A = this chain, B = another copy of it.
Amino acid sequence: MSTSRFQKLKEECCNANRELRTLGLVDLTFGNVSVADRQAGVFAIKPSGVDYEVLEPQHIVVVEIESGATVEGALRYSSDTPTHRRLLMAFAEAGAVVHTHSRDAVAWAQAGRGIPCFGTTHADHFYGEVPVTRPMTPAEIGGQYEWETGNVIVERFEAAQIDPAQVPAVLVHGHGPFVWGPSAAKAVEYAFALEIVAEMAIATLRLNPAAQPISKALLDKHFLRKHGATAYYGQPGAGV
């Protein structure tokens, strides 16, 4: 019995999708994770509308990044696949993309507001505000909708010169979050951190409607002690 050359990729993808459920980030079938194999030029992604409980590696679909063609898999890929593909093409450091409808992050997306960096929990993961896109136009929605969803995300990061490796998350206006990271595990962790940060920020504004983001000094300190060349959090070589 032959195995797929993408077996490990599909397992990583399957586990990350199931982890979304374990962490309480998705209800019903509202979320999905893709994982890229940059060398092979492909990514693995959840099939559309399959319950997390029954999801197995053999259900995972493998898609070519450049062409969007299905390379492996009998099921139809997630309807959000073109958004994942667009992000993997634009954000070279992203090794995985996560989409959820986690509740408090969605509230910010529906309110049309980016999440300010109100504290160190946020700064430990995102180097500044998590931005919200503009609403999509009827033409974009009526066209290649999921691909265009990726486009408005990329536009948002390019226009404001936000580094997607430093702010690995976005809120799509009236929709919800997309999050990415160097690996599936990291992308899922950031998606979880985003939901926590979104919840805390709602409560912060309730207590202080004029709450301000933390200082640049504190933002730098917390982000950089966990990320980049001067990081000193975690164990040496543990690859935070």
Contacts and interface: CB of A to CB of B under 8 A. Distances in A.
Contacts of A40: none
Given A136-B218, A232-B79, A175 B120 contact: yes
Interface string A192-222: 1100100111111111100100110110110
Contacts of A28: 189, 192-193
B205 A207 contact: yes
B48 A233 contact: yes
Interface in A98-147: 101, 103-104, 106-113, 118-121, 124, 135-138, 141-142, 145
A181 interface: no
Oligomer copy total? 4
A76 B47 CA distance: 42
For A75, A106, A189, which residue has the most chain B Cβ atoms within 10 angstroms? A106
A207 B113 contact: yes
B112 A211 contact: yes
A202 B206 contact: yes
A217 B211 CA distance: 33
Given A27-B192, A138-B217, A217-B141, A119 B174 contact: yes
Interface string A12-55: 00000000000000011010000000000000000111100000
A238 B203 contact: no
Contacts of A95: none
A4 interface: no
Contact of A196 (B79, B103, B141, B193): B103
Nearest to A108: B207
A119 B175 contact: yes
B174 A118 contact: yes
A48 B234 contact: yes
Given A79-B233, A192-B28, A207-B202, A110 B119 contact: yes
A23 B203 CA distance: 20
A211 B111 contact: yes
A138 B27 contact: no
The 7 closest A-B pairs by CB, nearest first: A49-B234, A107-B203, A111-B208, A111-B207, A138-B217, A110-B204, A110-B118
29 contacts: A28-B193, A48-B235, A49-B234, A49-B240, A50-B235, A79-B232, A101-B120, A103-B199, A103-B203, A106-B119, A109-B119, A110-B118, A111-B203, A112-B211, A118-B174, A119-B176, A120-B176, A135-B218, A136-B217, A136-B218, A137-B217, A141-B215, A141-B217, A141-B220, A141-B221, A142-B217, A174-B215, A202-B207, A206-B206
